[in-house]
Amino acid sequence: MMSGFICIISISTFAQKLSVTDLKVEHLKNPMAIETDSPRFSWKISSSVKNTLQSAYEIRVGRDKAAMNAGKDLVWKAAVSSDQSVLIKYEGAALQSKKRYFWQIRVKDNHGNTSAWSEPAFFHMGISPTDWTATWIKVAGKDTTARSPLFRKEFVVNKKLKSAIAYVTAKGLYEARINGQRVSDTYFAPGWTSYKDHLQYQVYDVTTILKSGSNVFGVSLGNGWYKGRIGFGNQHNFYGDTRGLLLQLVMEYTDGTMETIQTDKSWKYAYGPIMASDIYDGEIYDARMEISGWDNIGYQEDNKWNAVGTMEKGSEKLVAMSGPPVKKHELFKALKVFKTPAGETVVDFGQNLVGWVMLKAKGTAGTKITLSHAEVLTKEGNFYTTNLRSAKAQDIYILKENTEQVFEPHFTFQGFRYVKVEGYPGELTTEDLTAVALYSAMETTGKFATSNSLLNQLQHNIQWGQKGNFLDVPTDCPQRDERLGWTGDAQAFANTAAYNMDVAGFFTKWLKDVKADQQPNGSIPHVIPNVLGVNDGASAGWADVATIIPWDMYVAYGDRQLLETQFESMRKWVDYISSVAKNNLWNSGFHFGDWLFYRPNDDNDGRAAVTDKYLIAQTFYAHSTQLLINAAKVLGKQEDVAKYSALLANIKSAFVKEYMTATGRLVSGTQTAYVLALQFDMLPEELRAACANRLVANIRDYGTHLTTGFLGTPYLCHVLTRFGHNDVAYDLLMQESYPSWLYPVKMGATTIWERWDGIKPDGSFQTPDMNSYNHYAYGAIGDWMYRTIAGINSVPEQPGYKAIVIAPKPGGKITNAAAALETPYGPVKSAWTLENGLLKLEVTIPANTNAKVILPDTTKEIGSGTYHFESKTE
């Protein structure tokens, strides 16, 4: 008995000791569309034993899951003594287009344990360009109506299916259905890319949707970014004037034979109930125009449908979708339905979010219900949409006969907290509406909470700013007639984004567009994908996205290949600056400068915090050059390291000569000027402390308020902490009056605002020309909150959190803080309490990493596991 008992214990401890989980390929779980010949594998190790490191791994990859699991018929196997477990390159036999591969891992650790083989995972190869046999189809004649065409094709499955995989893309947006059912929960496919250069296709496993016998494809198209209104000046048809569909379904039967169903001349089309759809303006859906059963078998009327037209293949490359798809996420019940003083019926969802409203309604045919969207109410409590500028942001539903119907749009999204409802038949109740948040399906990786509820609301607002603006591309705002991939905003927020969610795939996808839209002379456009003029670019702090985000992603996820892929783009950007610089000074061209810095309306005594734009440009010239040097070091490009290091020294001495007095005063005495000069090491070392003191004096001079705009804000608290003024950083963070991070929180914000005073203390609004209530840029403080309050830090020399620094620096009367970050190696946690000057810290470090814990009175090196520390802070 006894020995049996012991035996059971030891088996279960053994099982817990070491295991492999969370298998990913190219940053994604079981990806359906891998394009590269050598995809990269990542896994996490978990162990109950402290100080666990991987000492070796075994990988096996095969076409057949069962055979692979038994170690047979492998296309690759390797056993390697290595502690690497993130982004290991495939080195087996050539991978084939359209095929699925299964893989698994087992590891050995430094304590002599061997894990079991992991659960098998898979990746599916995309379709190679030469394997596309489908023809682009479209409506016959010119595609001039805003109405959505429906494309239809019946086909027969006459043998037993092994697998059925659909490869689909469109010019415009598509929704693909089989037998009346959506083929996936992906929205806004094929996603927004620099379409003139490359267009993504999606890959769907539809094996379980198909049945034997007749089946039907039904696909509708919307205008989307491709053909709809996008950018400024009522611009339509930016990428093309004709929507098109390309689809190829590859069926493999159990007898080994294959069959392909694809778009060609045999498809038919008719127009459906979506009368118009537009990203900015919304959708008009007339239920009376529904064609019942059109997307299912048994529909008899398609003999009355039109024959499709065909389109020549364009010059754009078809590429496999590489980022996470947009999906539905949180649902919000309506909190209340109320009448405004102006007599309008308005619904409050309690959260400024991005997506749409699902509406239930029943009434006589032809009843028109209009939903308008708004982020805020006026101080009188009225519905306010002036800040949406020309975006109609309206969804219109027209009812069919008297049955209850549920509506939601298809090819538009809105940014809103409030919805105005007009024309609703009967009494509208909270039961009739649900708001649906849609955004790119990024795994939540960060958690952050403290004893201060205002700060927790700020963190909430930062996360919702991210959700609302990470809808396939990183946008400035999601609601007005803009919604563009503004580069300055994206670079300011990227580090914070990488704490809150896994943005590796998201930014890898977008950086392809950065590269694609970079001008031949190296200039980077203001927005990516670029829908502005070709020469709208090269603004300091915006265009520098080309160096900043690749480096940030490298540090956060350890993706060396991303640096390799982007390196030429990074270099071209720096070389562009050099080509327009004179005597190493970048002092020409258009720049946005420290966008939306503090600027009082009634500026009689010169309180506006204006920073010289060329001073700013010079600091970003240095920063981009430094990042290029960093990347060159990682990639072993010694000549580049030498060349650009010499350039960097020149850039800095030109800065000192042009913008600094002998005693270290900058020509602009603003916070942003000192912050950028200190952050990017522009100043002689012996003058830095004095400059930091000037920064503090300036902050105090504004009554302990920040005055920074988009460029200074992300670094403000970092610089204060670095130069020994952590207390001032906290004072700024805890400041509740304008301008500050907590001012909007006190004003009831549920997202980050574009401007420090989007709503003024008297309840009036900033200028409607530019006043978004969902703009993530100022949310960049999140990076400092994770790093300094919680103390979770990456180490650039060992990227992806292979090494970690835990260094919480309490302040601001916070008595406890807890944060967690799911890193590529597993969960990191840092939680502390502070009582009577005693700091108690709990730290968790994942297997296969190590950490340095820096406390007020001591420093400790630790391996994986959970640890407790105490430290006196005074």
Active site residues: 482, 754
Q: Closest distance between ligand RAM and the C-beta of residue 450, in Å?
A: 28
Residue 372, phi then psi, degrees to nearest 5: -110, 150
334's tokens: 């309506």
Under 8 Å between Cβ of 674 and 695: yes
Q: Please identify, among the stretches 360-368, 474-482, 793-801, 817-825, the one whose residues bind ligand RAM according to the rule CB under 6 A.
A: 474-482
Q: Closest distance between ligand RAM and the C-beta of residue 481, in Å?
A: 10
Applying CB under 6 A, does 753 fall inside the site for ligand RAM? no
534 vs 646 by CB, closer to ligand RAM: 534
Applying CB under 6 A, does 252 fall inside the site for ligand RAM? no
Does residue 135 sit in helix, strand or coil? coil
Q: What is the 3-state secondary structure (H, E, C) of 553-571?
A: HHHHHCCHHHHHHHHHHHH
Q: Please identify, among the stretches 233-241, 314-322, 486-494, 626-634, the one whose residues bind ligand RAM according to the rule CB under 6 A.
A: 486-494
Q: Closest distance between ligand RAM and the C-beta of residue 545, in Å?
A: 11
DSSP 178-209: ETTEES-S-BSTT----TTTEEEEEEEE-TTT
What is the footprint of ligand RAM within residues 631-650 (CB under 6 A)?
A: none
482 vs 757 by CB, closer to ligand RAM: 482
283 vs 472 by CB, closer to ligand RAM: 472
Q: Closest distance between ligand RAM and the C-beta of residue 595, in Å?
A: 5
Pairing of strands 414-422, 345-361: antiparallel
Q: Closest distance between ligand RAM and the C-beta of residue 442, in Å?
A: 21
Q: Closest distance between ligand RAM and the C-beta of residue 486, in Å?
A: 4
**CB-CB neighbours of 73 under 10 Å:** 11
- DSSP structure class, residue 787: I
Q: Closest distance between ligand RAM and the C-beta of residue 482, in Å?
A: 6
Q: Closest distance between ligand RAM and the C-beta of residue 196, in Å?
A: 23
152 vs 480 by CB, closer to ligand RAM: 480
**Which one among 26, 154, 286, 476 touches ligand RAM, defined by CB under 6 A?**
476
Instruction: Report how far residue 73's alpha carbon sits from residue 84's, in angstroms, rounded to the nearest whole number.
Output: 25
Q: Please identify, among the stretches 93-101, 113-121, 485-493, 866-874, the one whose residues bind ligand RAM according to the rule CB under 6 A.
A: 485-493
Residue 542, phi then psi, degrees to nearest 5: -100, -60
Q: How far is CA 562 from CA 58, 596, 816, in A?
A: 25, 32, 37
Applying CB under 6 A, does 592 fall inside the site for ligand RAM? yes
Site string for ligand RAM, 405-434 (x = CB under 6 A): ------------------------------
Q: Residue ranges of the alpha helices (H) in 597-712?
A: 613-634, 638-659, 671-679, 685-701
Q: Closest distance between ligand RAM and the C-beta of residue 477, in Å?
A: 6
Instruction: Report how far residue 598's alpha carbon sits from residue 760's, in angstroms, rounded to the nearest whole number.
Output: 13
Site string for ligand RAM, 654-693 (x = CB under 6 A): ----------------------------------------
488 vs 739 by CB, closer to ligand RAM: 488
473 vs 843 by CB, closer to ligand RAM: 473
Judging by beta carbons within 10 Å of its beta carbon (0-12, 13-18, 19+), is residue 129 exposed, middle or buried? exposed
Instruction: Report how far residue 345's alpha carbon sits from residue 428's, in angstroms, rounded to the nearest whole number.
Output: 9
477 vs 749 by CB, closer to ligand RAM: 477
Applying CB under 6 A, does 544 fall inside the site for ligand RAM? no
Q: Please identify, among the stretches 242-250, 327-335, 484-492, 613-621, the one whose residues bind ligand RAM according to the rule CB under 6 A.
A: 484-492
Amino acid at the residue 700 = R
What is the footprint of ligand RAM within residues 593-612 (CB under 6 A)?
A: 595
482 vs 559 by CB, closer to ligand RAM: 482
Applying CB under 6 A, does 541 fall inside the site for ligand RAM? no
Residue 590, phi then psi, degrees to nearest 5: -85, 140
DSSP 680-716: TT-S-HHHHHHHHHHHHHHHHHTTS-----TTTHHHH
Tell me, by CB under 6 A, how many residues bind ligand RAM.
Answer: 9
53's tokens: 């490191």
Q: Please identify, among the stretches 227-235, 297-305, 475-483, 852-860, the one whose residues bind ligand RAM according to the rule CB under 6 A.
A: 475-483
**CB-CB neighbours of 871 under 10 Å:** 18
Applying CB under 6 A, does 477 fall inside the site for ligand RAM? yes
**Which one among 122, 174, 486, 499 touches ligand RAM, defined by CB under 6 A?**
486
Q: Closest distance between ligand RAM and the C-beta of residue 785, in Å?
A: 22
Q: How far is CA 733 from CA 451, 454, 722, 814, in A?
A: 14, 10, 16, 12
The dihedral through the CA atoms of 477, 478, 479, 485 has a sign that is: positive
Does residue 5 sit in helix, strand or coil? helix
What is the footprint of ligand RAM within residues 366-385 (CB under 6 A)?
A: none
Instruction: Report how far residue 32's alpha carbon sits from residue 565's, in angstroms, rounded to the nearest whole number.
Output: 22
197-200: long-range pairs with CB below 8 Å, 24+: 197/316, 197/317, 197/513, 197/516, 197/517, 198/316, 198/317, 198/318, 198/319, 198/512, 198/516, 199/169, 199/171, 199/314, 199/316, 199/317, 199/318, 199/319, 200/169, 200/318, 200/319, 200/320, 200/321, 200/322
395 vs 476 by CB, closer to ligand RAM: 476
Applying CB under 6 A, does 489 fall inside the site for ligand RAM? yes
**Which one among 324, 488, 779, 846 touches ligand RAM, defined by CB under 6 A?**
488
Site string for ligand RAM, 760-799 (x = CB under 6 A): ---------------x------------------------
Q: H helices then E strands: how many in the chain?
A: 16, 43
373's tokens: 């969207």
- Nearest-CA neighbor of 839 among 816, 821, 861, 819? 816
Q: Please identify, among the stretches 140-148, 483-491, 676-684, 783-791, the one whose residues bind ligand RAM according to the rule CB under 6 A.
A: 483-491
Site string for ligand RAM, 83-102 (x = CB under 6 A): --------------------
Q: Closest distance between ligand RAM and the C-beta of residue 536, in Å?
A: 10
Summarize as ranges the residues that interact with ligand RAM (CB under 6 A): 476-477, 482, 486, 488-489, 592, 595, 775
